[in-house]
């Protein structure tokens, strides 16, 4: 062990064992934070559409992310950062509250219950059975479908996508300020990412906001202040409504998406950092999953949607992050971000539209691994991808995808591709659609 490495850090994070150093881990943490800091601005704006207090959600977002990062870092010792997840916040705001008509207090209780369920599944190892029973094609399709769902939200927030009685949807005014700025933000992100510039997403959001303020299209609310009160959302969960039978599918959808999002992210980031064991498995996976589920439970009590592992953690791993000190660094930066609430309130919805579209593209990249030559595998993927955005429901898209997979395999004579997990989930969704 290096003489310059404090024993406390070495004991906590095993830096020497991972061939790392404090400086390397801190720089990796800063890199990861810059790539995912957009959630500080996007999440409060999205949940505000569900009727939640934007300032309180801003605080809840930062605190939930910090809690998740600290648990992941100190307990699981992985360089994987956490924050309220994209896609899950959209499902919360636009489906559970917007389309299904539940209030946000009920939705928060559903998030809490999904976190408890995730915790139980991780402890009793049912998680492995569930994950292993889901066909790879559906896993890929779900990720891409959620990406397309985010794209629709981004297009709507920018004003590029508008309702049209004749064609259901239509194109908005391409010369309007929100559309032009959203397009500029998106192009800026792609240009910066292609040049390898860190923090491309947050740079784009801030640039579009600055241009809008200078042009007089957006009021400037300030830069730094004491954090807003979290009281409007803290412990506001409505369990009575969340325990209704009709909410089971909502809790399941929160759980299901978080389950695969977390599992996929953990494996992908660990593989990139050579953190898998000789059998290709993730050591301490139970601790990592407990970090995720605990952060989700804590986040729901604070007042935000599901907290999950971020694939952007790969940016920090690419910079040399190998231990939990990277995640702890990200957590500290989220706490620092608490004092930038006025800036978060200044950012208009169209400034984050480009970020949503960019994240959608990243999520759709999973489609490259689909076996398009096997129509019985490709067709269910198409069902999930198309019906998730067109029904404006992640839960409906997932459910219809499972039903399609089971029916297609059955009618194609490929029953060997079916397993008990797929059949049970398909039947459960079919019952839900038929009897509500």
pLDDT digits (tens, 9 = 90+) for 120-169: 887 876 766 766 677 888 888 887 888 888 888 889 889 999 888 888 88
Task: Judge whether 1 lies within some domain.
Answer: no
User: CA-CA distance, 276 to 268, in Å (whole number)?
Assistant: 10
Task: Judge whether 143 lies within some domain.
Answer: yes
- The confidence band for 5, taking pLDDT boundaries of 50, 70 and 90, is low
Q: Which residues contact 149 (CB under 8 A, 6 or more apart)?
A: 87, 90, 91, 360, 388, 389, 392, 394, 397
Task: Judge whether 255 lies within some domain.
Answer: yes
pLDDT value for 365: 85
Task: Judge whether 66 lies within some domain.
Answer: yes
Give the DSSP per-residue string, 102-132. Answer: --HHHHHHHHHHHHHHHHHHHHHTHHHHHHH
Show the tokens assigned to 383: 């069902």
- Segment 289-346, tens digit of pLDDT: 888 899 999 999 999 999 998 878 877 887 788 888 999 999 999 999 999 888 878 8
- Segment 346-355, tens digit of pLDDT: 888 898 888 8
* Closest alpha carbon to 252 in 370, 435, 417, 96: 96
Mean pLDDT of 74-96: 89
Mean pLDDT of 408-432: 89
pLDDT value for 132: 66
* Closest alpha carbon to 109 in 250, 229, 4, 1: 250
pLDDT value for 1: 45
pLDDT value for 140: 84
- The confidence band for 436, taking pLDDT boundaries of 50, 70 and 90, is low
- Show the domain range for 41: 7-435
Q: In percent, how much of the chain has pLDDT > 70?
A: 94
Task: Judge whether 315 lies within some domain.
Answer: yes
Show the tokens assigned to 12: 């906590």
Q: Do β-strands 307-309 and 168-171 pair in parallel, antiparallel, or remain unpaired?
A: unpaired
DSSP 228: P
- The confidence band for 178, taking pLDDT boundaries of 50, 70 and 90, is very high
Q: Which residues contact 227 (CB under 8 A, 6 or more apart)?
A: 58, 59, 62, 338, 339, 341
* Closest alpha carbon to 98 in 145, 153, 167: 153
Task: Judge whether 2 lies within some domain.
Answer: no
- Segment 14-61, tens digit of pLDDT: 888 878 888 889 988 888 888 788 899 889 999 999 999 999 999 999
pLDDT value for 420: 86
The answer to whether 378 touches 265, Cβ cutoff 8 Å, is no
Using the structure block, give the residue that is written with the tokens 């010792």: 77
**What phi and psi, each to the nearest 5 degrees, are found at residue 83?**
-170, 165
What average pLDDT does the chain have? Answer: 87
Show the tokens assigned to 432: 């839900």
Q: How large is the greatest C-alpha to C-alpha distance in the chain, in angstroms?
A: 72
Task: Judge whether 181 lies within some domain.
Answer: yes
**What phi and psi, each to the nearest 5 degrees, are found at residue 265?**
-65, -45
As for how many domains the chain has, the answer is 1
The answer to whether 139 touches 260, Cβ cutoff 8 Å, is yes
Task: Judge whether 55 lies within some domain.
Answer: yes
**pTM for the whole structure:** 0.79
pLDDT value for 400: 92
pLDDT value for 317: 83
**What phi and psi, each to the nearest 5 degrees, are found at residue 308?**
-145, 170
């Amino acid at each position: 062990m290096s003489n310059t490495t404090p024993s406390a850090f070495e004991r906590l994070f095993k830096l020497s064992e991972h061939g790392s150093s404090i400086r390397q881990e801190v720089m990796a943490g800063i890199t990861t934070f810059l790539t995912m800091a957009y959630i500080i601005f996007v999440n409060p704006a999205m949940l505000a559409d569900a009727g939640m207090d934007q300032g309180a959600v801003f605080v809840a977002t930062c605190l939930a992310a910090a809690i998740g990062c600290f648990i992941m870092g100190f307990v699981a010792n992985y360089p994987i950062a956490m924050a309220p997840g994209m896609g899950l916040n959209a499902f919360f705001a636009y489906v559970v509250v917007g389309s299904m008509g539940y209030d946000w207090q009920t939705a928060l209780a559903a998030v809490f219950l999904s976190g408890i369920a995730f915790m139980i599944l991780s402890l009793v190892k049912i998680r492995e059975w569930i994950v292993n029973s889901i066909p790879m094609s559906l896993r890929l399709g779900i990720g891409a479908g959620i990406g397309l769902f985010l794209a629709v939200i981004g297009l709507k927030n920018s004003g590029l996508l508008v309702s049209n009685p004749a064609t259901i949807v239509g194109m908005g005014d391409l010369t309007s300020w929100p559309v032009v700025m959203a397009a500029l933000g998106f192009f800026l992100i792609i240009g910066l990412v292609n040049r390898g510039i860190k923090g491309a997403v947050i740079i784009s959001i801030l640039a579009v906001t600055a241009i809008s303020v200078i042009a007089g299209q957006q009021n400037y609310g300030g830069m730094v202040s004491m954090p807003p009160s979290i009281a409007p959302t803290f412990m506001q969960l409505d369990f009575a409504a969340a325990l209704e039978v009709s909410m089971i599918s909502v809790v399941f959808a929160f759980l299901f998406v978080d389950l695969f999002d977390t599992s996929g992210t953990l494996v992908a980031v660990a593989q990139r950092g050579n953190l898998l064991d000789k059998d290709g498995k993730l050591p301490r996976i139970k601790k990592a999953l407990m970090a995720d589920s605990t952060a989700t439970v804590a986040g729901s009590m604070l007042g935000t949607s599901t907290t999950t592992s971020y694939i952007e953690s790969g940016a920090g791993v690419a910079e040399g992050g190998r231990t939990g000190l990277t995640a702890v660094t990200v957590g500290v930066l989220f706490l620092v971000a608490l004092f930038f609430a006025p800036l978060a309130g200044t950012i208009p919805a169209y400034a984050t539209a480009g970020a949503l579209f960019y994240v959608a593209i990243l999520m759709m990249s999973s489609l490259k691994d689909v076996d398009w030559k096997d129509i019985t595998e490709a067709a269910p993927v198409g069902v999930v991808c198309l019906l998730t955005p067109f029904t404006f429901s992640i839960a409906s898209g997932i459910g219809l995808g499972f039903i399609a997979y089971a029916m297609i395999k059955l009618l194609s004579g490929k029953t060997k591709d079916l397993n008990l997990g797929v059949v049970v989930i398909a039947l459960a969704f079919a019952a839900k659609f038929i009897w509500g």
